[in-house]
Amino acid sequence: MKPQNIEIHRRKKIKSIRLAIKGDLSLHISVPMTYDQNQIKALLIKFAPWIEKSLKKILQTQQKQEDILRAHPQQVPIFGDWREVSEYKSIELLRKILLEMLKERVGHWAAKMQVSPQKISIRSNKKILGSCNYKNDLSFSILLVFAPISLIDSVVIHELAHILHKNHSKKFWDFVGQFCRDHRDARRIFKEQMGLYVLFYEHYYESQKSS
């Protein structure tokens, strides 16, 4: 099994190679500027078993996601509970209910963590679930509307922790762990479910995207 496409990215600031396979089955290789074609060919040979294994895993995951979509025709998981799409066919409605939920959860956890967030916004981001800027404004992905509340809480706690720690240092993770002991499990579950959330969003709501 081979990737659909191979993209080579030569970077000035990296010292080691990076390989990543995307959802479209394309292989992206980041290498230092000094790497030539022969070295890249050698990498493809060296990592051929990993590439094939990863491609198969992605295909299996995509098949499972398609099976779930077929098993729940015209349904979406709203905060983890299956609902009819006809009840939630507007992306603006998704934004509204998610924002209401996030305001409640942010308020709840901010009080416990003794931090003061500023604005809360929803973005159509399919890669980053949440962010906290230098003004302590919080933004969250629309995809969270498909996640159970327990998983949403893990993202809220993560971003609130950035109000005190603007990096991912040990102090940051220790602080997160005080309020979300299973944050590692939550991250793993999100990693497994993100593709499914994206699938629901693209299948039913992508054409309505306004931002």
Report pLDDT digits (tens) over 106-162.
999 999 999 999 999 999 998 899 999 999 999 999 999 999 999 999 999 999 999
pLDDT attached to residue 159: 98
Domain 75-208: CATH class, spelled out: alpha beta
Position 210 pLDDT exceeds 60: no
pLDDT attached to residue 207: 67
Q: Collect contacts of 49-53 with beta carbons under 8 A, ≥24 apart.
A: 50/19, 51/2, 51/3, 51/19, 51/21, 51/27, 52/1
Q: Where in the chain is the domain with CATH 3.30.2010.10?
A: 75-208
Measure CA 49 to chain center. 26
Q: Give per-residue pLDDT as tens, 13-31.
A: 888 899 999 888 999 999 9
Strands 5-11 and 26-32: parallel
**211 pLDDT tier (thresholds 50, 70, 90):** very low
Global pTM?
A: 0.80
